[in-house]
């Protein structure tokens, strides 16, 4: 039996824009994702989050579903424009009331809440003033975060400032695949710095008002980078990609510094005028835990000679290509399935960054699921994926990591950003015409794991 520690949090994760819908109801303001989705050509199939899973109306049913699965925690995000429509100024009581009702209902069902304060739906009014490239947004974020925690405080176990600032910065401002759709390296690094600054300011602000028993941290998307070969060029390229994907965020949050190897490369390209003397001390605000989102590893080759088929370029300054992992199955999204990367990541954080409490705040896979003739959704690939990753998480605990919870991405099939509704990550199938929910076979398997607080050896 692979048993997990007592009081382990077993949950699923979602994010506001991906599930709520109701984008124009009860005083919600506009977000950058509303604008982006309604810009032709930006999102697959022209899909939008206008209705999504209609969780804004079906939240009771969704909580009851989690309770039936026996889950003891739920990670969701607050939509900034729903509670503070312009990102500054007055708060919207109707928006806050929605989250208050959700929190109360979760508590009634014995489900601990893990709340993310920013999962990418920036108020459009702030983007109109530069968004995360504008330093002022960091301060706005801290003010918003503090007020949300003050007003919703009771009953939240984990407060997370940001979800995956790497994605916000690099996909939102670096290559423009995500909202707000800016493609400029310098903007990406300014945005990354202001996101980190916003995290540091918000973490302090949240701590000053949060209820006893709550804790505050941040969630990073992390991806072990390993060389495609033993050549010195590939090893060095992998180290640069590690700096770009992992250390650029881990180091400032947990050590109060940017990694000098990458900073040295970036200095001539993006300058440093956006970094003020005390900023990194602010970014290194004490955190009670680190949230880790893990999906895949990067196999990295030095960009020299001709690329191999399937090689994907990283930004030019990294002089590196992402190479498909050989002989590894991939998910529906094409992501290599490499559970050992999760063990490696959790043990690395534990040994290199201090023995701090860790949560896997996201891990999961999209597969081309379908409803069978019997009305059931059988997804053995997802069950196998989760089983292997949970065993990998267990290995990390055995090696000493203080892992305290696991949140499967995702509770529901939902709006997968630039991929629209084409990628299904849910434990629960959603019919996007009727909004009917059907727990997949993986959900029933996960319920068994939760009830045993672990996995059986043959599972």
Cα angle 33, 37, 41; round to 5 = 140
For CA atoms 402, 348, 216, 162, give the dihedral sign.
negative
Catalytic-labelled residue, pool 25, 108, 147, 164: 164
CB of 19 to ligand IFM, least distance (A): 10
Q: What are phi and psi of 452, to 5 degrees?
A: -90, -5
Nearer to ligand IFM, 279 or 362 (CB): 362
CA of residue 69 relative to chain centroid, distance = 23
Taking the least distance from each CB to ligand IFM, the nearer of 251 and 362 is 362
Residue 163 CB, nearest approach to ligand IFM (Å) = 6
Q: What is the CA radius of gyration of the chain?
A: 21
Q: How far is the CB of 412 from ligand IFM (least distance, A)?
A: 11
Q: Which residue is at the shortest CB distance from ligand IFM?
A: 15
Q: Which of 16, 73, 293, 325 is the binder for ligand IFM (CB under 6 A)? A: 293
SS3 373: coil
Peptide bond before residue 449 is cis, with ω within 30 degrees of 0: no
409 binds ligand IFM (CB under 6 A): yes
The structure tokens listed for 163 are 């979800």
User: 18 vs 146, which CB is nearer to ligand IFM?
Assistant: 18
Given a contact cutoff of 8 angstroms between Cβ atoms, the answer to whether 185 and 175 are in contact is: no
- The full DSSP string for 428-445 is EEE-TTT--EEE-HHHHH
Decide: is 222 part of the binding site for ligand IFM (CB under 6 A).
Answer: no
Shortest separation between residue 303's beta carbon and ligand IFM, angstroms: 26
* Rounded Cα gap, residues 133 and 123, in angstroms: 14
| Interface map 354-383 toward ligand IFM (x if CB under 6 A) | --------x---------------------
Number of residues that bind ligand IFM (CB under 6 A): 8
Min. distance of Cβ 72 from ligand IFM in angstroms? 22
CB-nearer residue toward ligand IFM: 82 or 240: 82
Q: How far is the CB of 6 from ligand IFM (least distance, A)?
A: 28
- 362 catalytic, yes or no? yes
Q: Is 416 in the site for ligand IFM (CB under 6 A)?
A: yes
- Choose, by CB under 6 A, the member of 8, 10, 11, 15 that binds ligand IFM: 15
**By CB under 6 A, what part of segment 149-168 binds ligand IFM?**
164
Q: Is the Cβ of residue 239 or residue 292 nearer to ligand IFM in the bound state?
A: 292
- Choose the catalytic residue: 20, 338, 362, 416: 362
Residues 6+ apart with CB under 8 A from 253: 196, 199, 200, 218, 220, 283, 284, 287, 290
Assess whether 164 carries a catalytic annotation.
yes
Contact 354, 254 (CB under 8 A): yes
Tell me how far, at minimum, the Cβ of 445 lies from ligand IFM, in Å. 20
DSSP state letter for 102: H
The smaller minimum CB distance to ligand IFM, of residues 15 and 125, is found at: 15
Decide: is 20 part of the binding site for ligand IFM (CB under 6 A): no
CA distance 427 to 63: 14
Q: Which is nearer to ligand IFM, 92 or 361 (CB)?
A: 361
Q: Which is nearer to ligand IFM, 149 or 366 (CB)?
A: 366
Q: 443-449: long-range contacts at Cβ-Cβ below 8 A with a sequence spacing of 24 or more?
A: 443/69, 444/69, 445/383, 445/386, 445/387, 446/10, 446/69, 446/386, 446/408, 447/68, 447/69, 447/70, 447/71, 449/10, 449/386, 449/390
Tokens matching residue 270: 């993006």
CA distance linking residue 362 with residue 345, whole number of Å:
13
Q: How far is the CB of 351 from ligand IFM (least distance, A)?
A: 25
| 393 in Cβ contact with 449 (< 8 Å) | no
Active site residues: 164, 362
Name the residues that contact ligand IFM, by CB under 6 A.
15, 18, 164, 293, 362, 409, 416, 425
């Amino acid at each position: 039996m692979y048993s997990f520690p007592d009081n382990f949090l077993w949950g699923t994760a979602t994010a506001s824009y991906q599930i709520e819908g109701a984008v124009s109801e009860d005083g919600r303001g506009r977000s950058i994702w509303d604008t982006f989705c309604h810009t032709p050509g930006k999102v697959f199939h022209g899909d939008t989050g206008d209705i999504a899973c209609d969780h804004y109306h079906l939240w009771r049913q969704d909580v009851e579903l989690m309770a039936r699965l026996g889950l003891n925690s739920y990670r969701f995000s607050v939509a900034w424009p729903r509670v503070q429509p312009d990102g500054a100024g007055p708060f919207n009581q109707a928006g806050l009331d929605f989250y208050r009702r959700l929190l109360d209902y979760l508590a009634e069902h014995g489900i601990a809440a893990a709340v993310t304060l920013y999962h990418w739906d920036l108020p459009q009014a702030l983007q109109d003033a530069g968004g995360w490239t504008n330093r002022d947004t960091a301060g706005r974020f801290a003010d918003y975060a503090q007020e949300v925690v003050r007003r919703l405080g009771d009953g939240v176990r984990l407060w997370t400032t940001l979800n995956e600032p790497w994605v916000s910065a690099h996909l939102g401002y670096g290559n423009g695949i995500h909202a707000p759709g800016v493609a400029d390296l310098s903007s990406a690094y300014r945005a990354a710095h202001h996101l980190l600054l916003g995290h540091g300011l918000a973490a302090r602000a949240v701590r000053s008002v949060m209820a006893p028993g709550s804790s505050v941290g941040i969630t990073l998307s992390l991806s072990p980078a390993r060389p495609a070969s033993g050549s010195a060029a590939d090893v060095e390229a992998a180290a640069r990609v590690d700096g770009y994907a992992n250390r650029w965020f881990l180091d400032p949050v947990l050590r109060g510094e940017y990694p000098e190897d990458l900073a040295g490369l970036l200095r001539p390209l993006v300058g440093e005028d956006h970094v003020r003397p005390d900023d990194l001390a602010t970014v290194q605000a004490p955190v009670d835990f680190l949230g880790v989102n893990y999906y895949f590893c990067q196999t990295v080759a030095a960009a020299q000679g001709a690329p191999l088929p399937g090689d994907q370029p990283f930004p030019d300054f990294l002089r590196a290509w992402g190479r498909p992992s050989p002989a590894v199955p991939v998910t529906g999204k094409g992501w290599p399935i490499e559970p050992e990367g999760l063990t490696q990541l959790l043990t690395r954080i534990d040994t290199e960054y201090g023995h701090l409490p860790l949560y896997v705040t996201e891990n999961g896979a999209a597969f081309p699921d379908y409803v069978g003739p019997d009305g059931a959704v059988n997804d053995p690939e997802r069950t196998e994926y989760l089983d292997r990753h949970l065993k990998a998480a267990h290995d990390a605990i055995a090696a000493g990591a203080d892992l305290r919870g696991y949140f499967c991405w995702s509770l529901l099939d939902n709006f997968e950003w630039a991929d629209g509704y084409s990628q299904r990550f849910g434990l629960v199938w959603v019919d996007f015409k009727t909004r009917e929910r059907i727990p997949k076979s993986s959900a029933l398997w996960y319920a068994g794991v939760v009830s045993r607080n672990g996995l059986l050896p043959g599972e």
